[in-house]
């Protein structure tokens, strides 16, 4: 067996400070799933082709299968498990559940993280912009249309809530 | 079974019961499972397409610290396979490999990385055999045989069925159309790769968790291949991250981790890579077709003679069924008075083909619907009118003895024609722009089980207690289609509750009643009917207690809105929880069961068991495309689709099934293909996947997916729960021919082969410019030695469903799986028309 060097890093994960030790060669995806037990983030290829493993690193969508975990030192990482506000679902989560945007649900965490990055940057994104932002996420179930509708529904809800505040 | 529209849960838009967990990342897929002391398995896969295994040397792997076990074919003497007639797989191959990717050895180690490293250290010595790359080569090369069973040589199965005097009917027609088509193979591409964990549970029994659509069949395969009493086996189907038919075979890796767990006494997990998923395959068969159709001047079809040639790949899988399915549904869509079907499946040294969404029917659907378009053009008719004049009527028996109940196809066609402006646009759009129409039919559950038995196809068990809790148990596997939601909604509807009031335990062969699996669009209808029966029985028990308490006759007891009350005085009643308490007080612990078995098939001939279904869905679709005049790039602008669903269970999910089917159908029509290439001789000449990755196996992204206009036709079917029929597969079927027909309308050339790519359009245009036939596609069908056709008189000729040249009911095929269910009461077809 080849000897594996290990690395210890600290970063903010879903709002909480964490420190974790892992094999240096591991990707962020592997460390999240295998060393931090956050299995909400999925893998469909581990080659950066499907978008299932997308998470947010400092607010930007990143394919966690292509990022070495050591690069996460000092960053803020958000996974699907960190989208809800305590027991309250994020508007995107509500809308994905209600609009049929999650069928098998396997690509859903990646879509949610990618869509959140879009709406954080562009709260009034139109369908073309939504489509372009999500073009790197593959879904085999929905035909994408209900995903668009969910993002639009969430955007409208977020705008309404923002206006109230 | 109520067809009443007074429904409170069914048909209402609601969040699916598993929706919350999915958006929170809580849903545990197979690879998410973690057990203490868990080990990891990696398969050593063949690098050779066809070769005898001379030696396997695992000494280096076994010497690695942390490697716990290496197994080979010697550890697995018993074969398995999904069909009783094709028990041709071993968990690890014995003797010879038949394709690149065949599992030769399994390594179990303390980490996944170590298992991978150790697997690479296993040396396998091969003696290459001649390889067979496609069906034409298979027909020409009887030796060496890939398998030592099958019809002959490398022909796995050849079948021939003849209904009525088809030759006379075709030759006597005004016009005869003879066309060749090729439908390319493609794969399911679920985003979740297959994974499984073998464990020995706290009772010391085998329990395998797997991303399988068919836990019951995996259970049977485990018991058989590992020689364990079936009741000591348990399979838990984890929610699947997409299936589409790709997780309906029992797989070698499931049996391997089961055995490894038993040997080592520790949990053993395997997670396939994307490349391995491509080699598991069981996807769409590539099919070459020839259709010879007789047509009268007015467009009436007099007969169809269909031949299909399937590239089966290296194993049987569902292939015998797939072969019959390529000929099963032609007459269900259109009222063909005579019909002949001949189908042949060959073995080749490639990953095995099997069932993908639409199982065996999208290929001939492509041929039939494109040919109808050609006929309409030749006769100067509108393609919609050509179809409308010969739809299979409701409550009829077809020439090939399929019992058709309800059909909404006429309305489907009328809807899409109207909404798309098809009549105004067809033949009239500007150059480069075109519109195409196609129709289809699909089964709502196969009429017969995979293996012969007299048992229900599904069961539902309900348990009630004094807390008001309702627990529904069913073996159905949730592959994303929403079967859990259907179960909860059905029980809730009957008992006047909401889906939140029902807890579910599904897809666990250790504790749930058996359901045959999530395939053939069977779950909503079969599980739904079983759930209604179980819930109605509970209603009777609880209603009896409430009627006594309220001192009213039982038939006045109503279950609605979470209460049980007097129909004539709704204020007089009890809460649901109190009703259950009354029921439990009167009867003791409350539990009920329900089950379902489809009505018997009408055909009594060999092969008549593939195609019958309790109900058929119907679909019509129109697609508008634009073809770039310079690049031939194909852009689908919009899709209009109407689907005869009987009754929508949940409109959110039903629309998702239609749009998802449209997406997958378009993707197959435009780009998906399982393409293989041959490595040079010094690399074994292996047939390997050209594109075993999600990036290079092209599928539609958000950028190519067009707008979809979806309409449901809801005419309740008496055989469906609340009248419901299938929706998960049928809407895929019209897409490929729609696209091909629209391309013809746009640029005047025929692409008679899927996928319809810019390159093929350009080639067809080139042919046209040079004065040759304006098409791209196959030009001939090989000569095949067909078996003597089973000659069956059609119902219109007064036939009785038997073949005149066949001893009834004793063929090998029938005896081993495709046998007709015995007659059961209550299933009758009314108003059979001739």
- Short-list B269, B213, B226, CA closest to B33: B269
Asked if the model's pLDDT at residue A69 lies above 90, the reply is yes
Q: Where a domain ends, among A65, A82, A99? A: A82
- Short-list B416, B798, B466, B113, CA closest to A2: B113
User: Sorting pLDDT into bands at 50, 70 and 90, what band is B681?
Assistant: confident
Average per-residue pLDDT for chain B: 95
Instruction: Look at chain A and report how many structural domains it folds into.
Output: 2
- A75 and A129 in a common domain: no
CB atoms within 10 A of CB B455: 13
Q: Where a domain ends, among A82, A106, A124? A: A82
Is residue A157, in this structure, part of any structural domain at all?
yes
What ipTM was predicted for this assembly?
Answer: 0.98
Structure tokens at B406: 């309800």
Tokens 């007789």 found at: B294
The second-level CATH assignment, the architecture, of B32-129+190-243+247-280 is Alpha-Beta Complex (3.90)
* Chain B closest-CA separation from residue A150 CA (Å): 12
Domain coordinates in residue numbering, chain B: 32-129+190-243+247-280, 456-596
User: Sorting pLDDT into bands at 50, 70 and 90, what band is B809?
Assistant: low
Q: What is the mean pLDDT of residues B478-483?
A: 97
Q: What is the pLDDT of residue B2?
A: 41
**Sign (positive/negative) of CA torsion B794, B799, B804, B810?**
positive
Task: For strands B502-506 and B470-474, give the pairing.
Answer: parallel
User: Sorting pLDDT into bands at 50, 70 and 90, what band is B815?
Assistant: very low
Q: What is the mean pLDDT of residues B348-370?
A: 98
Indicate the residue of B23, B242, B244 with minimum beta-carbon distance to A97. B23
CB atoms within 10 A of CB A60: 12
Residues of A in contact with B655 (CB under 8 A): 100, 146
Asked if the model's pLDDT at residue B428 lies above 90, the reply is yes
Is residue A128, in this structure, part of any structural domain at all?
yes
- A103 and A77 in a common domain: no
A105 and B27: CB-CB below 8 Å?
Answer: yes
As a whole-number percent, the residues of chain B with pLDDT over 70 amount to 96
Cα B633 to Cα A41, B209, B370, B706, distances in angstroms: 36, 45, 20, 15
- Classify burial at B622, counting beta carbons within 10 Å of its beta carbon; exposed 0-12, middle 13-18, buried 19 or more: buried
**Sign (positive/negative) of CA torsion B423, B427, B429, B433?**
positive
- A22 and A61 in a common domain: yes
**What are the tens digits of pLDDT across the range B154-201?**
999 999 999 999 999 999 999 999 999 999 999 999 999 999 999 999
Q: Which 8-state DSSP code applies to residue B559?
A: E
- Short-list A54, A50, A31, CA closest to A41: A54
Q: Which residues contact B751 (CB under 8 A, 6 or more apart)?
A: B740, B743, B760, B761, B764, B775, B776, B777
Q: Which 8-state DSSP code applies to residue B732?
A: G
Q: What is the pLDDT of residue B820?
A: 32
Residues of A in contact with B191 (CB under 8 A): 42, 44, 50, 52, 104, 106-107, 138-140
Q: Provide the angle, in degrees to the nearest 10, between the axes of the packed helices B651-670 and A145-164.
A: 130
* Chain A closest-CA separation from residue B812 CA (Å): 38
Asked if the model's pLDDT at residue A164 lies above 80, the reply is no
- A75 and A127 in a common domain: no
Pick from A40, A42, A141, A150 the residue to mutate for testing the B interface (most B CBs within 10 Å): A141
Residues of A in contact with B31 (CB under 8 A): 39, 43
Strand, helix or coil for residue B621: strand
- A159 and A95 in a common domain: yes
Q: What is the mean pLDDT of residues B747-769?
A: 98
- Beta carbons of B667 and B358 less than 8 angstroms apart: no
Indicate the residue of A109, A141, A145 with minimum beta-carbon distance to B708. A145
Which residue is closest to A40 within chain B, CA to CA? B25
The answer, for A125 touching chain B at a CB cutoff of 8 Å, is: no
Cα B463 to Cα A64, A99, B493, B534, B559, distances in angstroms: 43, 31, 16, 10, 17
Is residue A1, in this structure, part of any structural domain at all?
no
For residue A10, the domain's CATH number is: 3.10.20.30
Q: What is the mean pLDDT of residues B421-425?
A: 98
Question: DSSP letter string over B351-384?
Answer: PPB---TTTT-HHHHHHHHHHHHHHHHHHT--HH
Q: In what order do the strands lie in the sheet with B268-271?
A: B67-72, B103-109, B39-45, B268-271, B195-200, B206-210, B233-237
User: Sorting pLDDT into bands at 50, 70 and 90, what band is B691?
Assistant: confident
**What are the tens digits of pLDDT across the range B287-308?**
999 999 999 999 999 999 999 9
As a whole-number percent, the residues of chain B with pLDDT over 90 amount to 94
A100 and B662: CB-CB below 8 Å?
Answer: no
Residues 52-91 of A with CB under 8 A from B: 52, 79-81, 84, 89
Q: What is the pLDDT of residue B822?
A: 30
Q: What is the pLDDT of residue B299?
A: 98
A145 and B273: CB-CB below 8 Å?
Answer: no
The answer, for A37 touching chain B at a CB cutoff of 8 Å, is: yes
d(CA B36, CA B745) in angstroms, rounded, equals 62
User: Sorting pLDDT into bands at 50, 70 and 90, what band is A2?
Assistant: low
- Beta carbons of B53 and B125 less than 8 angstroms apart: yes
Cα B723 to Cα B63, B398, B648, B649, B654, distances in angstroms: 62, 22, 9, 9, 14
Q: What is the pLDDT of residue B334?
A: 98
- A99 and A76 in a common domain: no
Kindly report whether the peptide bond that precedes residue B447 is cis, defined as omega within 30 degrees of 0.
no
Asked if the model's pLDDT at residue B827 lies above 80, the reply is no
Asked if the model's pLDDT at residue B314 lies above 70, the reply is yes
Q: What is the pLDDT of residue B260?
A: 98
Rama region for B11: left / alpha / beta (φ>0; ψ in -120 to 50; rest)? left
Backbone angles phi, psi at B270, to 5 degrees: -130, 135
| Residues paired with residue B573 on neighbouring β-strands, in sequence order | B565
Q: In what order do the strands lie in the sheet with B301-311?
A: B175-183, B287-295, B301-311, B339-346, B155-163, B790-792
Least confident segment among A75-79, A102-106, B816-820: B816-820
**What are the tens digits of pLDDT across the range B115-140?**
999 999 999 999 999 999 999 999 99
The answer, for B119 touching chain A at a CB cutoff of 8 Å, is: no
Q: What is the pLDDT of residue B808?
A: 61
Structure tokens at A1: 């067996």
- A51 and A32 in a common domain: yes
| Residues paired with residue B6 on neighbouring β-strands, in sequence order | none
d(CA B31, CA B349) in angstroms, rounded, equals 30
Pick the CATH number of B456-596 from 3.40.1190.10, 3.30.300.160, 3.30.365.10, 3.20.20.370: 3.30.365.10
* Chain B closest-CA separation from residue A7 CA (Å): 17
Q: What is the pLDDT of residue B519?
A: 97
For residue A97, the domain's CATH number is: 1.10.150.120
**Sign (positive/negative) of CA torsion B264, B269, B273, B276?**
positive
Asked if the model's pLDDT at residue B579 lies above 70, the reply is yes
The answer, for B788 touching chain A at a CB cutoff of 8 Å, is: no
- A160 and A96 in a common domain: yes
- A137 and A73 in a common domain: no
Structural domain for A23, as ranges: 6-82
Whole-prediction pTM: 0.96
Residues of B in contact with A33 (CB under 8 A): 32
Asked if the model's pLDDT at residue B603 lies above 50, the reply is yes
- Beta carbons of B23 and A96 less than 8 angstroms apart: yes
- A76 and A25 in a common domain: yes
- A127 and A75 in a common domain: no
Q: What is the pLDDT of residue B831?
A: 34
B244 and A140: CB-CB below 8 Å?
Answer: yes
Same fold, B32-129+190-243+247-280 and B456-596: no
Higher-confidence residue of A157 and B812: namely: A157
Q: Where a domain ends, among A82, A102, A137? A: A82
Asked if the model's pLDDT at residue B697 lies above 50, the reply is yes
Q: What is the pLDDT of residue A165?
A: 66
Exposure class string for B380-408: b at 16+ Cβ within 10 A, else e? ebbbbebbbebbbebebbbbbbbbbbbbb
- A31 and A98 in a common domain: no
Asked if the model's pLDDT at residue B684 lies above 80, the reply is no
**Sign (positive/negative) of CA torsion B131, B132, B137, B143?**
positive
């Amino acid at each position: 067996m080849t000897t594996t060097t290990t690395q210890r890093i600290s970063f903010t994960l879903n709002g909480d400070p964490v420190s974790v030790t892992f094999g240096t060669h591991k990707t962020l995806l592997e460390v999240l799933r295998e060393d931090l037990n956050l299995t909400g983030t999925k893998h469909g290829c581990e080659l950066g082709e499907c978008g299932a493993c997308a998470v947010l690193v400092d607010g930007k969508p990143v394919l966690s299968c292509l990022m070495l975990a050591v690069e996460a030192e000092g960053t803020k990482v958000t996974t699907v498990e960190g989208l809800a506000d305590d027991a309250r679902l994020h508007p995107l989560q509500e809308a994905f559940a209600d609009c049929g945007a999650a069928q098998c649900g396997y690509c859903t965490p990646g879509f949610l993280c990618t869509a959140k990055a879009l709406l954080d940057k562009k709260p009034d994104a139109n369908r073309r912009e939504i489509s372009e932002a999500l073009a790197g996420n593959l879904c085999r179930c929905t035909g994408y249309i209900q995903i668009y509708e969910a993002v639009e529904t969430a955007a409208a809800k977020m705008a309404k809530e923002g206006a109230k505040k | 079974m109520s067809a009443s529209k007074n429904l409170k849960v069914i048909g209402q838009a609601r969040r699916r019961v598993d929706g919350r967990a999915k958006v929170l990342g809580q849903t545990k897929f197979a690879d998410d499972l973690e057990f203490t002391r868990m080990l990891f398995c990696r398969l050593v896969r063949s690098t050779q397409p066809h070769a005898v295994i001379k030696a396997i040397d695992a000494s280096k792997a076994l010497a690695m610290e942390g490697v716990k076990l290496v197994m080979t074919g010697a550890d697995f003497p018993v074969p398995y396979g999904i069909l009783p007639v094709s028990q041709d797989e071993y968990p690890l191959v014995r003797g010879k490999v038949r394709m690149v990717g065949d599992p030769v050895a399994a390594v179990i180690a303390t980490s996944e990385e170590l298992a991978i490293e150790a697997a690479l250290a296993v040396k396998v010595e091969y003696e290459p055999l001649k390889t067979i790359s496609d069906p034409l080569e298979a027909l020409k090369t009887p030796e060496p045989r890939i398998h030592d069973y099958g019809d002959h040589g490398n022909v796995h199965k050849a079948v021939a069925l003849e209904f009525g005097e088809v030759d006379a009917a075709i030759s006597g027609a005004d016009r005869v159309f003879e066309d060749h088509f090729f439908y390319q193979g493609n794969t399911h591409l679920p985003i979740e790769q297959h994974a499984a964990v073998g464990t020995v549970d706290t009772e010391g029994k085998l329990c395998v968790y797997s991303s399988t659509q068919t836990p019951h069949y995996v259970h049977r395969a485990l018991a058989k291949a590992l020689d364990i009493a079936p009741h000591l086996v348990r399979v838990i189907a984890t929610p699947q991250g997409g299936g589409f038919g790709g997780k309906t075979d029992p797989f070698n890796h499931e049996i391997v981790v089961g055995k490894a767990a038993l040997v080592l006494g520790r949990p053993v997990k395997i997670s396939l890579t994307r490349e391995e998923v491509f080699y598991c395959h069981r996807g769409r068969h590539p099919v070459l077709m020839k259709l010879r159709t007789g047509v009268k001047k007015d467009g009436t079809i007099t007969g169809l003679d269909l031949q299909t040639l399937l590239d089966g790949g290296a194993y049987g899988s569902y292939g015998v069924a797939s072969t019959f399915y390529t000929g099963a549904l032609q007459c269900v869509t259109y009222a063909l008075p005579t019909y002949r079907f001949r189908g042949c499946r060959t073995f080749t040294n490639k990953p095995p083909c099997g069932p993908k969404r639409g199982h065996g029917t999208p290929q001939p659907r492509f041929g039939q619907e494109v040919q109808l378009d050609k006929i309409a053009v030749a006769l100067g008719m509108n393609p919609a009118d050509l179809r409308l004049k010969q739809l299979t009527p409701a409550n009829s028996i077809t020439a090939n003895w399929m019992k058709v109940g309800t059909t909404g196809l006429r309305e489907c066609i009328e809807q899409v024609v109207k909404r798309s402006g098809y009549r105004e646009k067809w033949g009239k759009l500007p150059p480069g722009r075109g519109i195409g129409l196609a129709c289809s039919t699909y089964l709502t559950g196969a009429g017969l089980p995979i293996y012969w038995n007299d048992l229900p196809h599904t069961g539902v068990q309900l348990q009630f207690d004094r807390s008001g809790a309702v627990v529904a148990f069913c073996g159905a596997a949730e592959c994303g289609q929403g079967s859990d939601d259907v179960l909860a909604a059905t029980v809730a509807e009957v008992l006047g509750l909401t889906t939140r009031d029902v807890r579910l335990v599904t897809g666990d062969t250790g504790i749930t009643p058996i359901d045959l699996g999530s395939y053939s669009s069977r779950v909503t209808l079969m599980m739904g009917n079983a759930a209604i029966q179980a819930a109605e029985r509970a209603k009777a028990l609880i209603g009896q207690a409430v009627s006594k308490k309220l001192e009213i006759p039982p038939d006045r007891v109503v279950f609605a809105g979470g209460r049980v009350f007097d129909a004539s005085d709704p204020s007089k009643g009890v809460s649901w929880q109190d009703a259950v308490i009354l029921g439990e007080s009167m009867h003791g612990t409350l539990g009920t069961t329900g089950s379902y078995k489809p009505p018997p098939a009408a055909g009594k001939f060999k092969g008549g068991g593939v195609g019958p279904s309790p109900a058929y869905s119907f679909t019509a679709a129109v697609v508008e495309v634009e073809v770039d005049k310079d690049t031939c790039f194909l852009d689908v602008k919009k899709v209009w689709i109407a689907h005869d669903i009987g009754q929508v269970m949940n409109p959110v999910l039903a629309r998702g099934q239609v749009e998802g089917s449209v997406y997958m159908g378009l993707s197959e029509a435009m780009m998906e293909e399982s393409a293989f290439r041959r490595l040079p001789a010094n690399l074994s000449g292996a047939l390997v996947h050209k594109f075993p990755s999600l990036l290079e196996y092209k599928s539609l992204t958000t950028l190519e997916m067009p707008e979809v206009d979806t309409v449901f036709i809801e005419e309740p079917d008496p055989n469906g729960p609340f009248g419901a029929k299938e929706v998960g597969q049928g809407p895929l079927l019209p897409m490929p021919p729609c696209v091909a027909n629209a391309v013809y309308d746009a640029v005047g050339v025929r692409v008679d082969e899927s996928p319809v790519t810019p390159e093929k359009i350009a080639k067809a245009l080139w042919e046209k410019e040079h004065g040759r036939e304006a098409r791209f596609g196959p030009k001939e069908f090989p000569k095949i030695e067909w078996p003597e056709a089973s000659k069956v008189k059609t119902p219109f000729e007064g036939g009785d469903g038997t073949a005149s040249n066949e001893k009834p009911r004793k063929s090998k095929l029938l005896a081993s799986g495709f046998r007709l269910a015995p007659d059961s009461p209550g299933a009758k077809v009314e108003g059979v028309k001739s």
